[in-house]
Structure 1
C-alpha cells in the first residue's frame, strides 16, 4: 500500500491538487488549469493560480474533521504543457516537504491529476471538477 501524497490536489496525497497554468505560461493550444476546483471525493476545494514562475494549488476549503489537510495547504507545481490537454513536471508539497512527479490531464471543466513518489512506485490519482 502506498502513502497518501498531499492534502489539496491529491487528497492528502498530492493534494492540491490541485493541481493550474495560465495561457501565458502554457502554449497557445494548451487548456489552462487555473481556477477553483472541487476534488472528486468532496473533501477539498483548491484555487490554482500563478505563483512566481510556477503554479500553486492552495486549499481554500477543507471538509470539517479532516486532520491530514487544512485550508492554506499549498502544492507548488513546476509543470509545462506536453500537449493541448496534458501538463507534466514536478510538484512540491510545502506541508510534507515532499517532491512528486506530476501529470495533469485537463478538459474545460474536468481535471485529473496523478502524482508519484519513489520513481513511480507510489502514485495517487485524483479527479477534479471546475467550480470557477
Structure 2
C-alpha cells in the first residue's frame, strides 16, 4: 500500500445527522512528504479526496486519483469509517484526526494487518 492510499478522504457532510462536522475536513491538504495535494469536498452523500497535484516522478499516483470516504465522527475532530480507492478498486478502514490545521490519516487493509499513516497540512 502506498502513501496515497493511506490517506485518504471523502465523507458525508450534511447528508446525515451528526455529519455536518465533517465539513472541517473540506479544502486542500498537502501531504507531509511534499509529494501530493488533495482536494477534499462533498461528492454525493460522501466526501472525496482527489489528487490535484502530484510531484513529478512520484510512483503509483496520478492527478485525478480519488478516494471516496464514508466516515462518521467518533469524537471531537475524529472520524472513522471506510474509504474506497476508485482507480485501484481497493477498500480501506480509515481513521482521521484533526488538530487545527494539521490532520493525520491512517488507512488499513486485511483486517488492520497492514496500515499506513500520513500527516497533512491544510492549505486553506
Q: What is the TM-score with the length of structure 2 in the denominator?
A: 0.88
The number of equivalent residue pairs is: 122
RMSD between aligned residues: 1.9
Higher helix share: 2
Partner of 1:8: none
- Structure 1 unaligned segments of length 5 or more: list them: 5-10
Shift of 1:84: 1.6
Shift of 1:49: 0.4
1:18 aligns with 2:8: yes
Choose which of 59, 65, 69 in structure 1 pairs with 2:51.
59
Choose which of 51, 64, 72 in structure 1 pairs with 2:64.
72
1:96 aligns with 2:108: no
Decide whether the 8 Å contact of 1:29 with 1:84 is kept in 2. Answer: no
Partner of 1:131: 123
Higher strand share: 2
Task: Out of 43-52 and 64-73, give the one that drifted further.
Answer: 64-73
